[in-house]
């Protein structure tokens, strides 16, 4: 099992609240990712990071923001939660980015967010 | 457009039986193809990774095949167990970007009945 952790696992929160989803890994990986997944649908990349102080937006537009102050930590923040943010959020990390060499992506257990 | 299509969408089999899941992709330029297993409420866990030069790879009762010419892959599960009930996701990586972009299929939901 991969050493990548997410908290909380489940969160039910009211509209307008600020929330932070935590993600940490102990593998020393430089590359970290946030995905959003709705039931029965594919994963969509919403944020990624190549390393400390590096953050980029992914393919799916998201109102969330991320930060990477430490290698092991990659939190995701929603300033004002809305029902449309209800989804599963998955964090992942990898040792490198595979163009010549293939790198595994390790996923955390996910956070199931429900905004009422 | 880079896409990954999986079939069937869902599948029910009896414990002990074999099954094969399909994946077709249009991702180009191709780098590698991965199969992940995702239990309900959990993150995906890697089963196999295959590069262009590999056409088969096994991981216990799981055997993946890849035909890079037809852009098709299959995942064969032998002697299914109740714990095999999960979503199986096909993921294709391209080598056209520095990110090593991953394209995800929607998964095949497998249910194994006793």
3-state secondary structure of B29: coil
For residue A112, give the nearest of A11, A34, A5, A4 by alpha carbon: A11
Share of chain A above pLDDT 90, in %: 78
Judging contacts by C-beta atoms under 8 Å, the chain A residues touching residue B109 are: 40
Distance, in angstroms, between A47 CA and closest chain B CA? Answer: 12
Return the pLDDT at B30.
Answer: 87
Neighbours of A96 (CB within 10 A): 15
A61 touches B: beta carbon within 8 Å: no
Residue in A2, A105, A109 nearest the CB of B102: A105
> How far apart (Å, rounded) are the C-alpha atoms in residues B62 and B48?
8
A108 touches B: beta carbon within 8 Å: yes
> How far apart (Å, rounded) are the C-alpha atoms in residues A48 and A54?
8
Mean pLDDT (chain B, rounded): 93
Residue B41, phi-psi category: left (phi > 0), alpha (psi -120 to 50), beta (remainder): left
Strand partners for B111: B12
Judging contacts by C-beta atoms under 8 Å, the chain B residues touching residue A107 are: 36, 43-45
Q: B87: part of which helix (H) or strand (E)?
A: strand B86-94
Mean pLDDT of the B17-24 span:
98
Per the model's pLDDT, the better-predicted residue between A114 and B93 turns out to be A114
pLDDT 10s digits, B42-87: 999 999 999 888 999 999 999 999 999 999 999 999 999 999 999 9
Per the model's pLDDT, the better-predicted residue between B102 and B38 turns out to be B38
Tokens representing residue A107 in the block? 């996923």
| Cβ pair A110:B41 closer than 8 A | yes
- Cα–Cα–Cα angle for B80, B83, B86, nearest 5°? 95
């Amino acid at each position: 099992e991969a050493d990548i952790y997410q908290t909380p696992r489940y969160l039910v929160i009211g509209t307008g609240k600020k929330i932070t989803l935590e993600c940490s890994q102990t593998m020393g990986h430089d590359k970290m990712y946030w995905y959003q997944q709705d039931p029965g649908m594919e994963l969509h990349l919403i944020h990624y990071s190549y390393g400390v102080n590096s953050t980029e937006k992914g393919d799916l537009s998201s109102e969330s923001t991320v930060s990477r102050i430490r290698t092991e930590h990659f939190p995701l923040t929603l300033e004002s939660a809305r029902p449309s943010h209800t989804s599963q959020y998955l964090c992942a990390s990898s040792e490198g980015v595979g163009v010549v060499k293939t790198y595994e992506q390790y996923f955390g257990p996910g956070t199931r967010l429900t905004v009422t | 457009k880079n896409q990954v299509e999986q079939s069937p969408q869902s599948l029910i089999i009896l414990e002990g039986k074999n099954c094969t899941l399909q994946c077709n992709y249009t991702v180009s330029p191709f780098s590698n193809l991965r199969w992940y297993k995702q239990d309900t409420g959990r993150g995906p866990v890697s089963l196999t990774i295959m590069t262009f030069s590999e056409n088969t790879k096994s991981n216990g009762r799981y055997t993946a095949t890849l035909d890079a010419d037809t852009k098709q892959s299959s995942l064969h599960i032998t002697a299914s167990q109740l714990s095999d009930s999960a979503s199986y996701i096909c993921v294709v990586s391209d080598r056209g970007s520095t990110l090593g972009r991953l394209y995800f299929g929607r998964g095949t939901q497998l249910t194994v009945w006793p």
